[in-house]
Protein backbone atom coordinates (compact mmCIF):
# COMPACT_ATOMS: atom_id res chain seq x y z
CA UNK A 1 0.00 0.00 0.00
CA UNK A 2 1.34 3.45 -0.90
CA UNK A 3 2.44 5.71 1.94
CA UNK A 4 0.24 8.62 2.89
CA UNK A 5 0.82 11.29 5.49
CA UNK A 6 -1.79 12.99 7.65
CA UNK A 7 -1.53 15.45 10.51
CA UNK A 8 -4.31 13.69 12.42
CA UNK A 9 -5.20 9.99 12.27
CA UNK A 10 -8.19 8.36 13.96
CA UNK A 11 -7.83 4.61 14.48
CA UNK A 12 -11.22 2.87 14.35
CA UNK A 13 -14.54 3.64 12.75
CA UNK A 14 -16.94 3.55 15.69
CA UNK A 15 -19.04 6.17 17.42
CA UNK A 16 -16.03 7.80 19.10
CA UNK A 17 -14.31 8.09 15.72
CA UNK A 18 -17.34 9.80 14.24
CA UNK A 19 -17.68 12.33 17.03
CA UNK A 20 -13.93 12.98 17.01
CA UNK A 21 -14.00 13.61 13.26
CA UNK A 22 -16.96 15.92 13.59
CA UNK A 23 -15.18 17.89 16.32
CA UNK A 24 -12.06 18.13 14.15
CA UNK A 25 -14.26 19.74 11.48
CA UNK A 26 -15.70 22.19 14.00
CA UNK A 27 -12.18 23.10 15.11
CA UNK A 28 -11.15 23.95 11.54
CA UNK A 29 -9.21 20.93 10.30
CA UNK A 30 -7.87 21.57 6.80
CA UNK A 31 -8.47 19.38 3.74
CA UNK A 32 -6.08 16.43 3.67
CA UNK A 33 -5.10 16.71 7.34
CA UNK A 34 -7.44 14.06 8.79
CA UNK A 35 -7.87 10.34 8.12
CA UNK A 36 -9.97 7.61 9.70
CA UNK A 37 -8.57 4.09 9.49
CA UNK A 38 -11.37 1.53 9.72
CA UNK A 39 -12.16 -1.97 8.52
CA UNK A 40 -15.73 -0.93 7.71
CA UNK A 41 -16.65 0.35 4.28
CA UNK A 42 -18.88 3.12 5.61
CA UNK A 43 -18.31 6.33 7.53
CA UNK A 44 -18.79 6.18 11.32
CA UNK A 45 -22.39 5.86 12.44
CA UNK A 46 -24.54 5.60 15.56
CA UNK A 47 -24.08 1.93 16.49
CA UNK A 48 -26.83 1.82 19.17
CA UNK A 49 -29.42 1.99 16.37
CA UNK A 50 -28.31 -1.43 15.11
CA UNK A 51 -30.06 -3.26 17.96
CA UNK A 52 -33.22 -1.16 17.75
CA UNK A 53 -35.36 0.16 14.86
CA UNK A 54 -32.73 -0.64 12.22
CA UNK A 55 -33.67 -4.32 12.51
CA UNK A 56 -37.23 -3.80 11.32
CA UNK A 57 -37.18 -4.78 7.61
CA UNK A 58 -39.74 -2.09 6.78
CA UNK A 59 -37.44 0.47 8.44
CA UNK A 60 -34.34 -0.76 6.69
CA UNK A 61 -33.58 2.71 5.41
CA UNK A 62 -33.19 4.03 8.96
CA UNK A 63 -30.33 6.51 9.01
CA UNK A 64 -27.64 5.43 11.47
CA UNK A 65 -25.01 7.84 10.17
CA UNK A 66 -23.49 10.86 11.82
CA UNK A 67 -23.88 12.76 8.53
CA UNK A 68 -20.10 12.94 8.23
CA UNK A 69 -20.29 13.38 4.49
CA UNK A 70 -22.16 16.64 4.97
CA UNK A 71 -19.95 17.91 7.78
CA UNK A 72 -16.59 16.76 6.44
CA UNK A 73 -16.88 16.95 2.68
CA UNK A 74 -13.39 17.60 1.32
CA UNK A 75 -11.77 17.27 4.74
CA UNK A 76 -11.79 13.56 5.53
CA UNK A 77 -10.03 10.55 4.04
CA UNK A 78 -11.39 7.15 5.08
CA UNK A 79 -9.05 4.18 4.61
CA UNK A 80 -11.38 1.19 4.61
CA UNK A 81 -11.40 -2.61 4.53
CA UNK A 82 -8.08 -2.69 6.26
CA UNK A 83 -7.02 -4.21 9.55
CA UNK A 84 -4.28 -2.55 11.54
CA UNK A 85 -1.67 -5.20 12.36
CA UNK A 86 1.30 -3.19 13.54
CA UNK A 87 1.70 0.20 15.07
CA UNK A 88 5.02 1.80 15.97
CA UNK A 89 4.71 5.08 17.83
CA UNK A 90 8.46 5.62 17.98
CA UNK A 91 8.55 5.91 14.18
CA UNK A 92 5.07 7.45 13.96
CA UNK A 93 4.32 4.90 11.25
CA UNK A 94 1.14 2.81 10.87
CA UNK A 95 1.39 -0.40 8.85
CA UNK A 96 -1.75 -1.94 7.39
CA UNK A 97 -2.69 -5.24 5.84
CA UNK A 98 -5.77 -6.19 3.87
CA UNK A 99 -8.55 -7.61 5.98
CA UNK A 100 -9.37 -11.25 5.24
CA UNK A 101 -12.67 -13.13 5.54
CA UNK A 102 -13.30 -15.04 8.77
CA UNK A 103 -13.62 -18.83 8.84
CA UNK A 104 -16.92 -20.37 7.77
CA UNK A 105 -19.70 -20.68 10.35
CA UNK A 106 -23.12 -22.23 10.22
CA UNK A 107 -25.46 -20.10 8.17
CA UNK A 108 -27.85 -17.81 10.04
CA UNK A 109 -25.57 -17.31 13.04
CA UNK A 110 -25.19 -13.56 13.35
CA UNK A 111 -22.90 -11.30 15.34
CA UNK A 112 -24.21 -7.78 15.73
CA UNK A 113 -21.09 -5.61 15.67
CA UNK A 114 -21.32 -3.56 12.50
CA UNK A 115 -23.89 -2.26 10.05
CA UNK A 116 -23.08 -5.10 7.63
CA UNK A 117 -24.03 -7.57 10.38
CA UNK A 118 -27.33 -5.75 10.88
CA UNK A 119 -28.04 -5.76 7.14
CA UNK A 120 -27.47 -9.53 7.00
CA UNK A 121 -29.69 -10.07 10.03
CA UNK A 122 -32.51 -8.07 8.44
CA UNK A 123 -32.37 -10.34 5.39
CA UNK A 124 -32.40 -13.46 7.57
CA UNK A 125 -35.43 -12.14 9.49
CA UNK A 126 -37.25 -11.70 6.17
CA UNK A 127 -36.42 -15.28 5.16
CA UNK A 128 -37.31 -16.90 8.48
CA UNK A 129 -40.70 -15.36 9.22
CA UNK A 130 -42.26 -16.84 12.38
CA UNK A 131 -39.06 -18.78 13.00
CA UNK A 132 -37.24 -19.60 16.23
CA UNK A 133 -34.45 -17.28 17.36
CA UNK A 134 -31.90 -17.89 20.11
CA UNK A 135 -30.22 -14.78 21.51
CA UNK A 136 -26.90 -15.45 23.23
CA UNK A 137 -26.28 -12.81 25.89
CA UNK A 138 -28.22 -10.98 28.59
CA UNK A 139 -26.64 -7.55 28.48
CA UNK A 140 -27.55 -4.37 26.60
CA UNK A 141 -27.39 -5.94 23.17
CA UNK A 142 -29.14 -9.15 24.18
CA UNK A 143 -32.06 -7.34 25.79
CA UNK A 144 -32.51 -4.83 22.97
CA UNK A 145 -32.17 -7.51 20.28
CA UNK A 146 -34.67 -9.80 21.98
CA UNK A 147 -37.25 -7.02 22.08
CA UNK A 148 -36.89 -5.90 18.47
CA UNK A 149 -36.80 -9.46 17.11
CA UNK A 150 -39.90 -10.38 19.12
CA UNK A 151 -41.61 -7.34 17.60
CA UNK A 152 -40.72 -8.85 14.22
CA UNK A 153 -43.06 -11.75 15.17
CA UNK A 154 -40.40 -14.37 15.74
CA UNK A 155 -40.15 -16.83 18.63
CA UNK A 156 -37.34 -15.66 20.93
CA UNK A 157 -35.29 -17.43 23.59
CA UNK A 158 -32.52 -15.65 25.52
CA UNK A 159 -29.58 -17.61 26.95
CA UNK A 160 -27.00 -16.17 29.33
CA UNK A 161 -24.73 -17.54 32.09
CA UNK A 162 -25.37 -14.93 34.77
CA UNK A 163 -28.01 -15.27 37.52
CA UNK A 164 -29.92 -12.29 36.09
CA UNK A 165 -29.77 -9.92 33.13
CA UNK A 166 -27.46 -6.88 33.05
CA UNK A 167 -25.62 -7.96 36.23
CA UNK A 168 -22.93 -5.29 35.93
CA UNK A 169 -25.56 -2.60 36.47
CA UNK A 170 -28.87 -4.12 37.52
CA UNK A 171 -29.64 -5.35 41.01
CA UNK A 172 -31.59 -8.60 41.28
CA UNK A 173 -34.70 -6.52 41.99
CA UNK A 174 -34.33 -4.38 38.88
CA UNK A 175 -33.56 -7.40 36.71
CA UNK A 176 -36.61 -9.28 38.01
CA UNK A 177 -38.87 -6.63 36.49
CA UNK A 178 -37.32 -6.81 33.01
CA UNK A 179 -37.14 -10.60 33.00
CA UNK A 180 -40.80 -10.76 34.04
CA UNK A 181 -41.80 -8.14 31.49
CA UNK A 182 -39.99 -9.99 28.70
CA UNK A 183 -41.57 -13.28 29.77
CA UNK A 184 -45.00 -11.66 29.56
CA UNK A 185 -44.12 -10.64 25.99
CA UNK A 186 -43.52 -14.30 25.17
CA UNK A 187 -39.73 -14.32 25.38
CA UNK A 188 -38.25 -17.41 27.02
CA UNK A 189 -35.25 -16.82 29.28
CA UNK A 190 -32.69 -19.48 30.21
CA UNK A 191 -30.16 -18.36 32.82
CA UNK A 192 -27.05 -19.93 34.32
CA UNK A 193 -25.77 -21.71 31.23
CA UNK A 194 -24.04 -21.01 27.92
CA UNK A 195 -24.15 -22.14 24.32
CA UNK A 196 -21.37 -24.65 23.66
CA UNK A 197 -22.15 -25.74 20.11
CA UNK A 198 -24.44 -25.64 17.10
CA UNK A 199 -25.75 -28.24 14.67
CA UNK A 200 -26.67 -27.55 11.06
CA UNK A 201 -29.03 -29.04 8.50
CA UNK A 202 -28.10 -30.35 5.06
CA UNK A 203 -28.02 -26.79 3.71
CA UNK A 204 -25.52 -25.69 6.32
CA UNK A 205 -28.09 -23.60 8.18
CA UNK A 206 -28.15 -23.69 11.95
CA UNK A 207 -30.95 -25.84 13.38
CA UNK A 208 -29.99 -26.41 17.03
CA UNK A 209 -28.12 -24.73 19.86
CA UNK A 210 -26.41 -27.00 22.38
CA UNK A 211 -26.23 -25.68 25.93
CA UNK A 212 -23.65 -26.53 28.56
CA UNK A 213 -26.34 -27.93 30.87
CA UNK A 214 -27.27 -30.52 28.24
CA UNK A 215 -30.36 -28.89 26.83
CA UNK A 216 -30.76 -28.52 23.07
CA UNK A 217 -32.76 -25.62 21.61
CA UNK A 218 -34.32 -25.51 18.16
CA UNK A 219 -33.16 -22.48 16.21
CA UNK A 220 -33.66 -21.02 12.75
CA UNK A 221 -31.54 -18.00 13.69
CA UNK A 222 -28.87 -17.46 16.34
CA UNK A 223 -27.74 -13.97 17.27
CA UNK A 224 -24.69 -13.55 19.46
CA UNK A 225 -25.48 -10.38 21.38
CA UNK A 226 -22.46 -10.04 23.62
CA UNK A 227 -20.29 -6.96 23.81
CA UNK A 228 -16.73 -6.73 22.59
CA UNK A 229 -13.57 -6.00 24.52
CA UNK A 230 -11.41 -2.92 24.02
CA UNK A 231 -8.79 -3.53 21.35
CA UNK A 232 -5.57 -2.62 23.10
CA UNK A 233 -3.36 -5.47 21.89
CA UNK A 234 -1.71 -3.33 19.21
CA UNK A 235 -0.37 -0.98 21.86
CA UNK A 236 1.25 -3.52 24.19
CA UNK A 237 4.62 -2.31 25.39
CA UNK A 238 4.21 1.11 23.81
CA UNK A 239 1.69 2.87 26.06
CA UNK A 240 0.97 2.67 29.75
CA UNK A 241 -2.09 0.55 30.51
CA UNK A 242 -4.35 0.18 33.52
CA UNK A 243 -7.64 -1.56 34.32
CA UNK A 244 -7.88 -3.14 30.88
CA UNK A 245 -7.42 0.09 28.95
CA UNK A 246 -4.89 2.69 27.88
CA UNK A 247 -4.09 5.01 30.78
CA UNK A 248 -4.71 8.68 29.98
CA UNK A 249 -4.80 12.04 31.69
CA UNK A 250 -7.93 14.20 31.97
CA UNK A 251 -7.49 15.29 28.33
CA UNK A 252 -7.26 11.65 27.18
CA UNK A 253 -3.57 12.00 26.32
CA UNK A 254 -1.70 8.71 26.71
CA UNK A 255 1.83 8.17 27.99
CA UNK A 256 3.08 8.67 24.41
CA UNK A 257 3.23 12.26 23.09
CA UNK A 258 0.52 13.14 20.55
CA UNK A 259 -1.34 9.86 21.11
CA UNK A 260 -4.83 10.06 22.62
CA UNK A 261 -7.25 7.30 23.63
CA UNK A 262 -11.02 7.77 23.94
CA UNK A 263 -14.13 5.70 24.49
CA UNK A 264 -13.92 2.26 26.06
CA UNK A 265 -10.18 1.87 25.41
CA UNK A 266 -9.35 4.78 27.74
CA UNK A 267 -8.74 4.44 31.47
CA UNK A 268 -9.07 8.03 32.60
CA UNK A 269 -9.31 10.05 35.85
CA UNK A 270 -12.97 10.21 36.79
CA UNK A 271 -13.01 13.48 38.68
CA UNK A 272 -16.25 12.96 40.58
CA UNK A 273 -14.92 9.79 42.25
CA UNK A 274 -11.24 10.72 42.27
CA UNK A 275 -10.12 7.45 40.70
CA UNK A 276 -9.15 5.92 37.37
CA UNK A 277 -11.97 4.24 35.49
CA UNK A 278 -12.81 2.77 32.12
CA UNK A 279 -16.37 3.24 30.82
CA UNK A 280 -18.12 1.12 28.20
CA UNK A 281 -21.05 3.16 26.91
CA UNK A 282 -21.85 5.27 23.89
CA UNK A 283 -22.46 8.44 25.93
CA UNK A 284 -18.86 8.42 27.16
CA UNK A 285 -17.60 7.50 23.68
CA UNK A 286 -19.23 10.62 22.25
CA UNK A 287 -18.21 13.01 25.01
CA UNK A 288 -14.64 11.76 25.45
CA UNK A 289 -13.98 12.01 21.70
CA UNK A 290 -15.18 15.60 21.55
CA UNK A 291 -13.25 16.51 24.70
CA UNK A 292 -9.99 15.00 23.42
CA UNK A 293 -10.14 16.88 20.11
CA UNK A 294 -10.86 20.16 21.87
CA UNK A 295 -7.90 19.47 24.17
CA UNK A 296 -5.65 18.78 21.16
CA UNK A 297 -6.45 22.11 19.57
CA UNK A 298 -6.13 23.94 22.88
CA UNK A 299 -2.68 22.41 23.35
CA UNK A 300 -1.63 23.37 19.83
CA UNK A 301 -2.70 26.92 20.60
CA UNK A 302 -0.72 26.99 23.82
CA UNK A 303 -3.87 27.09 25.93
CA UNK A 304 -4.96 25.00 28.88
CA UNK A 305 -8.21 23.06 28.74
CA UNK A 306 -10.70 22.06 31.41
CA UNK A 307 -10.64 18.62 32.98
CA UNK A 308 -13.07 15.98 31.79
CA UNK A 309 -15.72 15.91 34.51
CA UNK A 310 -17.90 12.98 33.53
CA UNK A 311 -20.95 11.71 35.39
CA UNK A 312 -21.53 8.06 34.42
CA UNK A 313 -24.71 7.79 32.37
CA UNK A 314 -26.30 4.64 30.97
CA UNK A 315 -29.63 4.20 29.22
CA UNK A 316 -31.63 1.82 27.08
CA UNK A 317 -34.99 1.46 25.35
CA UNK A 318 -37.02 -1.63 24.49
CA UNK A 319 -40.70 -2.30 23.87
CA UNK A 320 -42.46 0.61 25.63
CA UNK A 321 -39.77 0.81 28.29
CA UNK A 322 -37.05 3.39 28.71
CA UNK A 323 -34.62 3.61 31.61
CA UNK A 324 -31.75 5.86 32.64
CA UNK A 325 -29.03 5.49 35.25
CA UNK A 326 -26.65 8.11 36.59
CA UNK A 327 -23.73 7.81 38.97
CA UNK A 328 -22.17 4.80 40.67
CA UNK A 329 -23.92 1.50 41.41
CA UNK A 330 -22.12 0.72 44.66
CA UNK A 331 -23.29 0.38 48.26
CA UNK A 332 -26.72 -0.37 49.70
CA UNK A 333 -29.81 -0.09 47.51
CA UNK A 334 -33.34 1.21 47.98
CA UNK A 335 -36.02 0.14 45.50
CA UNK A 336 -39.06 2.37 45.04
CA UNK A 337 -42.15 2.66 42.85
CA UNK A 338 -44.27 0.21 40.86
CA UNK A 339 -41.98 -2.53 39.57
CA UNK A 340 -44.62 -5.14 38.77
CA UNK A 341 -43.97 -6.71 35.34
CA UNK A 342 -47.73 -6.97 34.84
CA UNK A 343 -48.45 -3.30 35.58
CA UNK A 344 -50.02 -1.31 32.75
CA UNK A 345 -47.80 1.67 33.55
CA UNK A 346 -44.74 0.49 35.47
CA UNK A 347 -42.56 3.19 36.94
CA UNK A 348 -39.87 2.50 39.49
CA UNK A 349 -36.31 3.22 40.45
CA UNK A 350 -33.41 2.46 42.74
CA UNK A 351 -31.05 4.56 44.83
CA UNK A 352 -27.51 3.44 45.65
CA UNK A 353 -26.19 4.68 49.00
CA UNK A 354 -22.52 4.61 49.99
CA UNK A 355 -21.16 6.04 53.25
CA UNK A 356 -24.47 7.77 53.92
CA UNK A 357 -24.67 9.52 50.53
CA UNK A 358 -26.72 8.75 47.44
CA UNK A 359 -24.17 8.01 44.71
CA UNK A 360 -26.33 6.45 42.00
CA UNK A 361 -29.92 6.52 40.74
CA UNK A 362 -31.83 4.32 38.28
CA UNK A 363 -35.26 5.23 36.90
CA UNK A 364 -37.60 3.40 34.55
CA UNK A 365 -40.14 5.45 32.54
CA UNK A 366 -39.04 8.83 33.83
CA UNK A 367 -40.08 12.11 32.24
CA UNK A 368 -37.32 14.42 30.93
CA UNK A 369 -37.66 16.52 34.09
CA UNK A 370 -37.47 13.47 36.35
CA UNK A 371 -34.40 12.17 34.52
CA UNK A 372 -32.72 15.54 35.02
CA UNK A 373 -33.60 15.30 38.71
CA UNK A 374 -31.97 11.91 39.20
CA UNK A 375 -28.88 13.12 37.31
CA UNK A 376 -28.63 16.04 39.72
CA UNK A 377 -28.91 13.69 42.70
CA UNK A 378 -26.07 11.53 41.37
CA UNK A 379 -23.92 14.62 40.82
CA UNK A 380 -24.70 16.34 44.16
CA UNK A 381 -24.67 13.11 46.24
CA UNK A 382 -27.04 14.30 48.99
CA UNK A 383 -27.13 12.50 52.36
CA UNK A 384 -29.62 9.70 52.93
CA UNK A 385 -30.46 9.80 56.60
CA UNK A 386 -33.03 6.98 56.57
CA UNK A 387 -33.29 4.21 53.99
CA UNK A 388 -36.88 3.52 54.99
CA UNK A 389 -37.81 7.16 54.51
CA UNK A 390 -35.99 7.22 51.17
CA UNK A 391 -38.01 4.21 50.04
CA UNK A 392 -41.25 5.95 51.04
CA UNK A 393 -40.38 9.20 49.30
CA UNK A 394 -39.06 7.48 46.20
CA UNK A 395 -38.82 9.78 43.21
CA UNK A 396 -40.18 12.70 45.24
CA UNK A 397 -36.85 12.86 47.06
CA UNK A 398 -34.93 13.37 43.80
CA UNK A 399 -37.33 16.02 42.57
CA UNK A 400 -36.73 18.10 45.72
CA UNK A 401 -32.96 18.35 45.24
Which of 201, 224, 247 is a domain's end point? 224
Please tell me which residue, 116 or 232, carries the higher pLDDT value. 116
The pLDDT of residue 38 is 77
What CATH number did the domain enclosing 208 receive? 3.50.50.60
- Comparing 347 with 209, which gets the higher pLDDT? 347
Domain enclosing residue 137, as ranges? 109-224
314 lies in some domain? no
Mean pLDDT of 104-121: 74
pLDDT of residue 4: 73
Task: Give just the sign of the alpha carbon dihedral 161, 47, 30, 249.
Answer: negative
Please give the angle made by the CA atoms of 56, 162 and 128, to the nearest 5 degrees: 25
Is the same domain home to 288 and 325?
no
Q: How many residues does the chain have?
A: 401
Residue 309 lies in a domain: no
CA pseudo-torsion sign 387, 388, 394, 400: negative
pLDDT at residue 98 in the model: 29
Strands (E) in 219-312, as ranges, are 221-224, 241-242, 245-247, 266-270, 275-278
Report how far residue 152's alpha carbon sits from residue 38's, in angstroms, rounded to the nearest whole number.
31
On whether both 296 and 207 belong to a single domain, the answer is: no
Asked if residue 313 belongs to a domain, the reply is no
**One domain, residues 153 and 216:** yes
Global pTM reads 0.85
Is residue 310 in some structural domain? no
Q: Tell me how far apart the alpha carbons of residues 361 and 359 are, in angstroms, rounded to a whole number.
A: 7
Do 217 and 245 lie in one domain? The reply is no
Q: What are phi and psi of 144, to 5 degrees?
A: -70, -40
- Of 80-89, 260-269, 328-337, where does mean pLDDT reach its minimum? 80-89
pLDDT, greater one: 5 or 132:
132
Residues 182 and 116 in one domain: yes
CA–CA gap between residue 87 and residue 11 (Å, rounded): 11
The residue-averaged pLDDT of 302-323 equals 94
Nearest to 157 by CA among 104, 205, 211: 211
The residue from 195, 224, 253 where one domain ends is 224
Q: Which of 224, 257, 277 represents a domain boundary (last residue)? A: 224
Q: What is the CATH number of the domain that holds 378?
A: 3.30.390.30
Same domain assignment for residues 352 and 255: no
Kindly tell me if the per-residue pLDDT of 104 is higher than 60.
Answer: no
Report the percent of the chain where pLDDT is more than 70: 81
Domain-located, residue 363: yes
- CA–CA distance, 386 with 383 (Å, rounded to integer): 9
CA distances from 180 to 42, 63, 176, 189, 320 (A): 38, 32, 6, 9, 14
> 227 vs 13, which has greater pLDDT?
13
How many other C-beta atoms lie within 10 A of the C-beta of residue 222?
25
CA 27 remoteness from chain centre? 27
Tens digits of per-residue pLDDT, 127-176? 888 899 999 899 988 999 999 999 989 999 999 999 999 999 999 999 99
Strand blocks (E) in 248-311: 266-270, 275-278
Give the per-residue pLDDT at 239.
86
| For range 188-204, the mean pLDDT | 90
Note whether 42 and 76 are within 8 A (CB): no
What pLDDT does residue 15 have?
Answer: 86
- Looking at per-residue confidence, does 146 or 225 come out higher? 146
Is residue 176 domain-shared with residue 205, that is, in the same domain? yes
Residue 2 domain-assigned (yes or no): no
Q: Are 221 and 145 in contact (CB under 8 A)?
A: no
Domain match, 203 and 266 both:
no
Is residue 163 one of the residues assigned to a domain? Answer: yes
Are both 140 and 216 inside the same structural domain? yes
Helix (H) or strand (E) holding 312: none
Same domain, 158 and 117: yes
The per-residue pLDDT for 48 is 60
- From the list 184, 170, 160, the residue with the least C-alpha distance to 348 is 170
Range 191-220 average pLDDT: 90
The tally of domains found in the chain comes to: 3
Q: Measuring CA to CA, which residue among 258, 359, 249 is closest to residue 308?
A: 249
Q: Is 243 a member of any domain?
A: yes
CA dihedral 16, 22, 26, 30 (to 10 degrees): 110
Task: Calculate the average pLDDT of the chain.
Answer: 84
Are 191 and 163 in contact by the 8 Å Cβ rule? The answer is yes
Reading phi first (left if > 0) and then psi (alpha if -120 to 50, else beta), residue 12 is in left
Identify the band that residue 103 occupies on the pLDDT scale cut at 50, 70 and 90: very low
156, 131: one domain = yes
Closest alpha carbon to 134 in 204, 192, 210: 210
Task: For residues 219 and 237, state if they share a domain.
Answer: no
Amino acid sequence: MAEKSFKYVILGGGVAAGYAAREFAKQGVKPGELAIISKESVAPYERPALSKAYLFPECKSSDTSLHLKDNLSGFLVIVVLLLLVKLDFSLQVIKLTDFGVQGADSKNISYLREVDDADKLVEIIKQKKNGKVVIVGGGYIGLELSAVIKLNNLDVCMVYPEPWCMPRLFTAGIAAFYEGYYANKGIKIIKGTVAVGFTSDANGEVKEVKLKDGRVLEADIVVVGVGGRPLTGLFKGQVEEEKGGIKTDSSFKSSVPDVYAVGDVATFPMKIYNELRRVEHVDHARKSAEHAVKAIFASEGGKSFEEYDYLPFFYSRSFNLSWQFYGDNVGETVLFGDNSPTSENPKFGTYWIKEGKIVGVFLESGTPEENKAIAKVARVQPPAESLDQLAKEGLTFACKI
